[in-house]
């Protein structure tokens, strides 16, 4: 008999694909709201990827990525859409 270990105890890091024990992984909500848990499925990061994350607020970023079909087009197309949309919305990308 195999030890009682269910699928749900292992999660996959969304950044590096490592399978990690759920208890060691960090929950990640792509909308940045980890406090609202109702009816939600969290994604997970392994500890080292989580430590490398930028913890600044990502206001409007997720929305913008959906809007420009991130992940549905080539990287080059994505980058050009991203820059165009960001400049359109927030002004020229220059160092201030």
Cα 14 to Cα 65: distance, rounded to the nearest angstrom: 17
46 binds Zn ion (CB under 5 A): yes
Among 16, 24, 53, 73, contact with Zn ion (rule: CB under 5 A): 16
Shorter beta-carbon distance to Zn ion: residue 49 or 68: 49
Output the CA torsion sign for 96, 83, 76, 68. positive
13 binds Zn ion (CB under 5 A): yes
CA 16 to chain centre: 12
Task: Tell me which residue has tokens 């699928």.
Answer: 7
Tell me which residues in 47-66 interact with Zn ion (CB under 5 A): 49
In the complex, the residues that contact Zn ion under the rule CB under 5 A are 13, 15-16, 18, 46, 49
């Amino acid at each position: 008999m195999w030890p009682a270990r269910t699928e749900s105890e292992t999660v996959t890091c969304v950044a590096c694909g490592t399978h990690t024990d759920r208890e060691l992984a960090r929950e990640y909500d792509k909308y940045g709201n980890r406090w609202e848990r109702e009816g939600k499925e969290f994604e997970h990061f392994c500890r080292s990827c989580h430590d490398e994350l930028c913890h600044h607020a990502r206001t409007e970023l997720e929305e913008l990525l959906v809007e420009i079909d991130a992940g549905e087009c080539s990287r080059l197309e994505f980058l050009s859409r991203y820059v165009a949309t960001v400049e359109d919305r927030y002004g020229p990308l220059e160092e201030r």
